[in-house]
């Protein structure tokens, strides 16, 4: 046995095998850049304990944070996949398959029904991890299904937005979800039920131009990026330098575009208060 083999064998007892070392033990905060224990971050509702940066989270994590025990995740509607036979660097079905494998979800929008502090509610969540939360036919159908579930339950519909905009692989079919979601919100209003929007990081593009800004109450998480068009596009168009806090939750609040900025730890209590005020304070039977 050579000396190199002996050294390698000796080190194997000291240095753990990579397969035995958790690769998700630490998380690098996107706000301050510091390393945080993943478990500590999760216990803090995915908010950095060092700088208070709100990390992006998916639907199931939202439901756990907001609902009382016993909520129900609603099945997603089925739609025609790849209606335009779109292909860029890879086929559209391959992108969908990869997104489903990484997130465990069928598409970028998920609904659930339950209670928040005893108040009935239906919550819809857009997941940026699924192809940038892009709005396609599946997202539009899920949004409408969430509205219908809220009407059937006589409950408010609460939507958490997180999207880069319309899904380019579905072309005009994705843009048609803008008027369809608007009509669905009108159905909710005709039923006398509130529509509450919580804007999360980031919300932009066609989603920002549609159901993201049509809430009866507009809430945002702290320091979320909120925009229709990119900062550089606007600056090159108007030929002016924009403020540093432009297109943030705080900027929108200061200019009257949203009603409040609410920390994630306070969101459940705030939503419970709003439902009580808007629906009349009646709680679901135990």
Which residues fall in the annotated binding site for Zn(2+)?
29, 32, 48, 51
Measured in degrees and rounded to the nearest 5, phi and psi for residue 244 equal: -60, -35
Assess contact for 261 and 204: CB atoms under 8 A. Answer: no
How is residue 255 written in tokens?
A: 């200019």
Residue 231 near residue 242, CB atoms below 8 Å: yes
d(CA 124, CA 122): 7
Q: Which residues are annotated as a binding site?
A: 29, 32, 48, 51
Query: Which residue, among 90, 99, 154, has the nearest Cα to 132 in the 3D structure?
Result: 99
Residues 6+ apart with CB under 8 A from 113: 71, 72, 74, 120, 121, 122, 123, 149, 153, 155
Rounded Cα distance, 211 and 167, in Å:
15
Nearest residue to 163 via CA among 96, 209, 218: 209
Strands (E), the chain: 26-28, 35-37, 72-73, 109-116, 119-126, 157-163, 195-203, 217-220, 260-261
**Apex CA 257: angle with CA 255 and CA 261, to 5°?**
90
Instruction: Tell me the two tokens of residue 149.
Output: 């579930």
The residue among 111, 129, 113 whose CA lies nearest residue 121 is 113
Is residue 51 within 8 A of residue 31, CB to CB? The reply is yes
In this structure, the chain runs to a length of 286
Q: Token digits for 221?
A: 């998480």
């Amino acid at each position: 046995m050579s000396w190199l083999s002996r050294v390698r064998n000796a080190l194997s007892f000291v240095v753990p095998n990579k397969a035995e070392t958790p690769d998700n033990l630490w998380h690098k905060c996107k706000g301050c850049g510091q390393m945080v224990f993943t478990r500590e971050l999760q216990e803090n509702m995915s908010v950095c304990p060092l700088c208070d940066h709100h990390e992006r989270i998916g639907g199931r994590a939202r439901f756990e944070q907001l609902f009382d025990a016993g909520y129900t995740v609603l099945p997603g509607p089925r739609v025609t996949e790849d209606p335009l036979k779109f292909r860029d660097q890879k086929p559209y079905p391959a992108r969908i398959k990869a997104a489903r494998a990484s997130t465990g979800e069928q598409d970028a929008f998920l609904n659930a029904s339950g209670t928040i502090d005893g108040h009935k509610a239906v919550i819809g969540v857009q997941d940026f991890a699924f192809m940038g939360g892009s709005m396609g036919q599946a997202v539009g159908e899920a949004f409408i299904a969430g509205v219908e579930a809220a009407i059937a339950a006589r409950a408010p519909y609460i939507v958490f937005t997180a999207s880069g905009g319309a899904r380019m692989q579905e072309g005009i079919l994705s843009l048609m979800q803008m008027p369809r979601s608007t009509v669905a919100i009108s159905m909710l209003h005709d039923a006398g039920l509130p529509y509450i929007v919580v804007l999360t990081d980031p919300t932009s593009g066609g989603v920002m131009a549609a159901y993201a800004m049509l809430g009866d109450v507009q809430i945002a998480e702290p320091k979320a990026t909120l925009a229709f068009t990119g900062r550089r596009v606007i600056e090159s168009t108007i030929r002016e330098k924009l403020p540093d806090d432009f297109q943030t939750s705080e900027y929108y609040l200061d200019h009257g575009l949203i009603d409040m900025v609410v920390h994630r730890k306070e969101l459940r209590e705030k939503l419970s208060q709003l439902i009580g005020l808007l629906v009349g304070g009646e709680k679901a039977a135990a």
